[in-house]
Structure 1
Amino acid sequence: MTLNCRGAGARGVEKLDWIRNLRRNNNVQLLCGQESQLFNPLVIPFSSLWGNSHFVSEAVGACGRSGGLFCLWDPASLNCMQVEKDTNFILISGMRVGLDARINFVNVYGSRSSVERKIFLGDFNETSVKEDRLPVSGCDSDIAEFNNFILAAGLSKYHMGGRRFTWMNDDGCHLSKIDRILVCENFLAKWPTGSVTALPRDFSDHCPLLFSTKEQSLENIVVRPWSSGRPSGSKELNLMRKLKSLKWDIKGQGC
Structure 2
Amino acid sequence: MEIPSNSLICSPRYCIVFMKIISINVRGLGVEDKIGWVRGICSSEKPDLIALQETKCKQVEDRLIHALWGNSDCGYIQKEAVDNSGGMLLVWDIKNYVAISACVSEFFLVVKGHWKGCDQDSIIVHVYGPHDDASKKIMWESLDYFVKSIDAAWLVCGEFNEVREPSDRLNCVFHQRWANRFNKFIAEINLIEIPISGRKLTRISDDGLKFSKIDRFLASDKFINLWDDLSVIALDRKESDHCSVVLRDKLLDYGPKPFEVFNEWFNKEGVEEVIKEAWKKPVTSIHSDSMFGDHLKNVKYCLKQWSNATFGNLDKEIGTLKLKVEDWGKKAESCSLNDIDRADWLEARRCWIENEKSKTKMLKQKARSRWKTKVRPEDGDCLVVLRRKKVEEKVVEVVCSLVRKQMREGREE
- Aligned match of 1:206 in 237, 242, 261? 242
Secondary structure in 1 aligned to 2:251?
coil
Deviation at 1:41, TM superposition (A): 3.9
1:106 aligned partner: 125
Cα distance in 2 between the residues matched to 1:87 and 1:64? 15
- Aligned match of 1:137 in 173, 182, 189? 173
| Greater helix proportion | 2
Cα distance in 2 between the residues matched to 1:90 and 1:163? 26
Residue identity in the other structure for 2:74:
F
Cα distance in 2 between the residues matched to 1:103 and 1:23? 22
Deviation at 1:40, TM superposition (A): 3.0
- Aligned match of 2:59 in 36, 40, 54? 40
Backbone CA RMSD of aligned residues:
2.1
Deviation at 1:118, TM superposition (A): 0.8
Asked if structure 2 preserves the Cα contact closer than 8 Å seen for 1:62 and 1:87, the reply is no
**1:30-69 aligned within 5 A:** 30-42=49-61, 45-69=64-88
Q: Which has the larger radius of gyration?
A: 2
Cα distance in 2 between the residues matched to 1:54 and 1:137? 43
- Aligned match of 1:119 in 155, 173, 196? 155
1:244 aligned partner: none
- Report the TM-score when normalising by structure 1: 0.80
Deviation at 1:84, TM superposition (A): 1.1
Cα distance in 2 between the residues matched to 1:199 and 1:52? 23
* 1:168 aligned onto 2:204: yes
1:39/1:216 Cα in 2 relative to 1: closer, same or farther (>3 Å)? closer
Give CA deviations for 1:193-240 in whole Å, capped at 9, x if unaligned. Answer: 11111000000001111111233676999xxxxxxxxxxxxxxxxxxx
Deviation at 1:23, TM superposition (A): 1.1
- Aligned match of 1:182 in 202, 218, 225? 218
1:70 aligned partner: 89
Deviation at 1:167, TM superposition (A): 0.3
Asked if structure 2 preserves the Cα contact closer than 8 Å seen for 1:168 and 1:205, the reply is yes
1:150 aligned partner: 186
Cα distance in 1 between the residues matched to 2:153 and 2:198? 26
Residue identity in the other structure for 2:204:
M
Question: Unmatched 5+ residue regions in structure 1?
Answer: 222-255
Range 39-48 or range 103-112, more displaced = 39-48
Asked if structure 2 preserves the Cα contact closer than 8 Å seen for 1:8 and 1:44, the reply is no
1:90 aligned partner: 109
Kindly tell me the number of residue pairs found equivalent between the two proteins: 219
Cα distance in 2 between the residues matched to 1:55 and 1:40? 17
Question: Unmatched 5+ residue regions in structure 2?
Answer: 1-21, 130-138, 147-151, 254-286, 291-413
Deviation at 1:87, TM superposition (A): 2.1
Deviation at 1:44, TM superposition (A): 8.1
Range 65-74 or range 202-211, more displaced = 65-74
2:323 aligned partner: none
Asked if structure 1 preserves the Cα contact closer than 8 Å seen for 2:55 and 2:87, the reply is yes
Residue identity in the other structure for 2:68:
L
Secondary structure in 2 aligned to 1:190?
coil
1:28/1:4 Cα in 2 relative to 1: closer, same or farther (>3 Å)? same
Asked if structure 2 preserves the Cα contact closer than 8 Å seen for 1:61 and 1:87, the reply is no
Residue identity in the other structure for 2:50:
L
Range 211-220 or range 191-200, more displaced = 211-220
Cα distance in 2 between the residues matched to 1:91 and 1:122? 12
Identical-pair percentage: 30
Deviation at 1:192, TM superposition (A): 5.2
Residue identity in the other structure for 1:7:
G
Cα distance in 2 between the residues matched to 1:88 and 1:179? 15
1:77/1:43 Cα in 2 relative to 1: closer, same or farther (>3 Å)? closer
Secondary structure in 2 aligned to 1:23?
helix
1:26/1:151 Cα in 2 relative to 1: closer, same or farther (>3 Å)? same
Residue identity in the other structure for 1:202:
K
Asked if structure 1 preserves the Cα contact closer than 8 Å seen for 2:251 and 2:289, the reply is no
> Which structure is richer in relative contact order (CA contacts within 8 A, separation 6 or more)?
1
Cα distance in 2 between the residues matched to 1:155 and 1:191? 16
Cα distance in 1 between the residues matched to 2:119 and 2:288? 30
Deviation at 1:45, TM superposition (A): 2.0
Asked if structure 1 preserves the Cα contact closer than 8 Å seen for 2:228 and 2:251, the reply is no
Secondary structure in 2 aligned to 1:126?
coil
| Greater strand proportion | 1
Secondary structure in 1 aligned to 2:83?
coil
Give CA deviations for 1:67-111 in whole Å, capped at 9, x if unaligned. Answer: 111011111111111101122111000121111110100001104
